[in-house]
Amino acid sequence: MSESHCLIKKRFRGYFPVVVDVETAGFNAKTDALLEIAAVTLKMDEQGFLHPDKTFHHHIEPFAGANLEKAALEFNGIDPYCALRGAIEESEAMKELCKDIRKEQKIADCQRSIIVAHNAAFDQGFVNAAIERSNIKRTPFHPFVSFDTTTLAGLALGQTVLIKACMAAGIEFDQKEAHSALYDTQKTAELFCYIVNKWKTLGGLELDQ
């Protein structure tokens, strides 16, 4: 195991942080369709600075009987039944994602993965509901613990909206790309790394304690 993997394990007390974003057809995780999910894993260099690592991404077909709120679809611009999306069944997407995350979690020698997200309760709710519908027994994700970049950005940058927090951190953000799970996940990963690394430069947590 590399020194950097040991550091990320120490930094988050055995948790493996995975940045997640979802696009959905509403706000109710139990009834509304999950349409897109993206996840970015993180790595730590020898100096203890955090960086985005691998990206996983799926477009998802609405599950059987799923509710599709018109306002939500107009907001994110997704046509759930467009063949060009290349969407796959929800259970296939979630099983593949969990398999990929478990693999990365094992490499990092971490005990559990923890979702990092902007307004994390929303994304975590949809991930948990999709995992339950998919009958996945070995989920890598902690069912309720999360790192919320909304809260962290409010503390570190005085901003809670993703685009404004990124701008305050000097992270480029193309508003035309927003509300794509892939793009928002990548930007949330950059934001989380910025905040963790900024804390380090200010004399934060010492990993050799």
Is 207 a residue whose pLDDT tops 80?
no
pLDDT at 7: 85
DSSP label at residue 66:
-
> Rounded to an integer, what distance in angstroms lies between the CA atom of residue 182 and that of residue 40?
9
Counts for the chain of helices (H) and strands (E), in that order: 7, 5
Query: Residue 171: what residue type?
Result: I
pLDDT, tens only, 69-128 = 999 999 999 999 999 999 999 999 999 999 999 999 999 999 999 999 999 999 999 999
> Rounded to an integer, what distance in angstroms lies between the CA atom of residue 156 and that of residue 120?
17
Stretch 162-176: mean pLDDT: 95
Name the band, by pLDDT with cuts 50, 70 and 90, for residue 4: low
First to last CA, the chain: 20
> Rounded to an integer, what distance in angstroms lies between the CA atom of residue 187 and that of residue 40?
10
Q: To 10 degrees, the CA torsion angle through 122, 153, 141, 36?
A: 50
pLDDT at 209: 47
Catalytically annotated residues:
179
> Rounded to an integer, what distance in angstroms lies between the CA atom of residue 103 and that of residue 100?
5
| φ, ψ at 118 (rounded to 5°) | -90, 115
Name the band, by pLDDT with cuts 50, 70 and 90, for residue 2: low
pLDDT, tens only, 121-166 = 999 999 999 999 999 999 999 999 999 999 999 999 999 999 999 9
Percentage of the chain lying above the pLDDT 90 cut: 89
